[in-house]
Amino acid sequence: MDKEKIKISGFNNLTKVLSFNLYDFCITLDDDQKSHYVSYIHDKYNATKITEISTEIVRMIDANILAVSSQDYDPVGASSMVLMSDIKGGGAPIPSAQVSMHLDKSHITVHTYPDAADPDGICSFRVDIDISTCGEIIPLDAMNYLFEAFECDVVYIDYVVRGYTRLADGKKIYNDHHFNSILDFIKPAIKRNYTYLSDINMPQDNTWQTKMMIKDLGPESYLLNPEDISHPDVPEKMRLLREEMKEVYHMIH
């Protein structure tokens, strides 16, 4: 039997999309450590774990989960998709046939991309998170949580507002919240951890982009085994790791 449809009343075609792309790096000294790294990433960021992160984002931005889909991949990687709306309410669930309210169609998708194939042993983990919302929900409110939920060495943040909605008098508006920069939504304590910052703001086009790269840290931040700190290959590995970060940050090929 087909599910009963939820009736939509009102009109909204203003879509806000936050794309949060992060890279985390790690030094491995042999093939066994590469395998250990892949297992570590799977345990920490498998489909169940990233769905939990998505669920927390939904809670933070005052949305409501409609449906969830998730998948782990062989040999590596995971995906999660959460459909949501800004319908909120307590008490017993209301049968869909009785629902008559403005439903804002929104979703969160998360995809992970572990990479342990580098011959020099510089492993990386990329996460692509897209939060697409309508209505009054502002996905930028989840920004600080994303930094806290993941280890972020290099970060790309894109934010766009598309479409339009109408005021009560029929006038179209193309953005319902105004700000100067994505950085306005990031805590100062988080921003202090980053040394490279690129901030592109085109409010006339409802488009913003910020790029960030972590400050120089010691090898203890990137080694799987802290006892490897005195390994003779570590200084060269650190040089390669920093070059890898700069390449990703600047997209140099």
Q: Which long-range contacts (CB under 8 A, 24 or more apart) does 92-99 make?
A: 95/4, 96/3, 96/4, 96/5, 96/6, 97/4, 99/6, 99/7
Catalytic residue among 80, 111, 132, 152: 111
Q: Is 80 annotated as catalytic?
A: no
Catalytic residue among 26, 42, 70, 134: 134
Catalytic residue among 54, 70, 85, 106: 106
Q: Is 123 annotated as catalytic?
A: no
Q: Is 111 annotated as catalytic?
A: yes
Task: State how far the Cα of 107 lies from the Cα of 85, in Å rounded to an integer.
Answer: 8
User: Which residues are the active-site residues?
Assistant: 106, 111, 134
